[in-house]
């Protein structure tokens, strides 16, 4: 099942919960926080699914805009709608969402991507995250990428 919501900015359009990152906030943490704030659903970050880049977006404060869709695992299921952000929230079947006429193009595409991952394996669509040490002592960064086969995770020699 997939959660989808109805927003004031896009009347009569289903879309995923979302919003802006706080300064210093990681992508997955933003997704988890925004889903909770809008729906009351607790979740856990699983992977990155897609990135949309857009320029001259009227709501992007004069900046280029990146909209990142994350795959989350729900930890709770009871919806507690935030009336300031949504008019309606409900759990939806992925097939229904993929076929719905009243979705944004990115929502429809993400629903089809999720259907493919659900049926064929999420390893075919997910960009997973590894935390790696930065070149600066004591600092780390997060690298999002397709999962490597075990034989490539640690290579001791090159043939």
- Active-site annotation holder among 22, 34, 37, 44: 37
Q: For residue 130, list its beta bridge partners.
A: 143
**129: Cα within 13 Å, side-chain hemisphere:** 17
**Which of 120, 123, 112 is closest to 150 using CA atoms?**
123
Q: CA 80 → CA 3, 87, 131, 136, distances in Å?
A: 12, 12, 32, 42
CA distance 111 to 97: 6
Q: Where are the beta strands (DSSP E) in 8-156?
A: 14-15, 43-54, 65-74, 86-92, 128-133, 140-145
Tell me if residue 85 is catalytic: no
Contact 84, 92 (CB under 8 A): no
Residues annotated as part of the active site: 37
């Amino acid at each position: 099942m997939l959660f989808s919501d109805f927003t004031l900015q896009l009347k009569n359009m289903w879309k995923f919960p979302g919003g802006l990152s706080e300064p210093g906030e990681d992508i997955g943490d933003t997704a988890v926080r925004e889903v909770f704030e809008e729906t009351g659903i607790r979740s856990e970050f699983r992977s990155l699914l897609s990135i949309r880049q857009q320029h001259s977006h009227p709501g992007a404060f004069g900046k280029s805009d990146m909209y990142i869709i994350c795959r989350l695992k729900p930890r709770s299921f009871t919806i507690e709608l935030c009336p300031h952000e949504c008019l309606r929230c409900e759990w939806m079947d992925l097939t229904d969402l993929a076929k719905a006429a009243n979705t944004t193009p990115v929502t429809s595409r993400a629903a089809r991507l999720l259907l493919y991952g659900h049926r064929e394996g999420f390893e075919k669509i997910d960009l997973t995250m590894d935390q790696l040490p930065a070149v600066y002592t004591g600092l780390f960064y997060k690298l999002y990428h397709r999962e490597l086969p075990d034989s490539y995770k640690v290579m001791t020699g090159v043939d």
